[in-house]
Amino acid sequence: MIPGPQVKTFRVYAIYDPAYSTPWLLATPLHLKAATVKAMYQDRWPVEQVPLSAKQMVGAHRQFVHADESIQRLPELALLAGSIQSYLAATFPATPTGFWDRQPRRTPGRFRRLLMGKPFPQSYPLPEQIRKKASVTGHLPKGSLAPRQKVTASAPGVVP
């Protein structure tokens, strides 16, 4: 090998589908045959279902994290929860959303709505404290000694 910086290259495949106005672009460092790219495109939508379930159904699209470990952990947990929810939705009997739903489908959204109407299992023993918070707060004043924020009367009806 020649010493020096290694140059990483990749190929971009454009897949034109008459059902869509713009092509699907696949960038990969792999050298693929046309039959392999076609097979990947046919599996495109089933692969995208898990991130969709993770973001929309579990609520991961609203989460904002900034710590280095959390930046990795939140997407991993969201994808795990999304894949579990997609699997359970596919294996659980389809439930109609109302009397008008004559042919119900097994989707993660319907499964989530079905679970929202059920009480959380009370028989599962949860610990009193899940984990101890590792932040130091002993030096901060507590109770009536803690500094208060001043309220400004920016809106009508707000008493300072």
Query: pTM value?
Result: 0.47
Residues 6 or more apart whose Cβ sits within 8 Å of residue 26: 12, 13, 15, 37, 40, 41
Question: In the chain, what are the domain boundaries?
Answer: 10-42, 45-119
pLDDT of residue 147: 75
DSSP letter assigned to residue 73: H
pLDDT tens digits for range 102-155: 888 888 878 888 888 788 777 777 788 777 777 787 787 877 777 776 666 555
Work out the widest C-alpha separation in the chain, in whole angstroms. Answer: 75
User: What local confidence, expressed as pLDDT, does residue 110 receive?
Assistant: 84
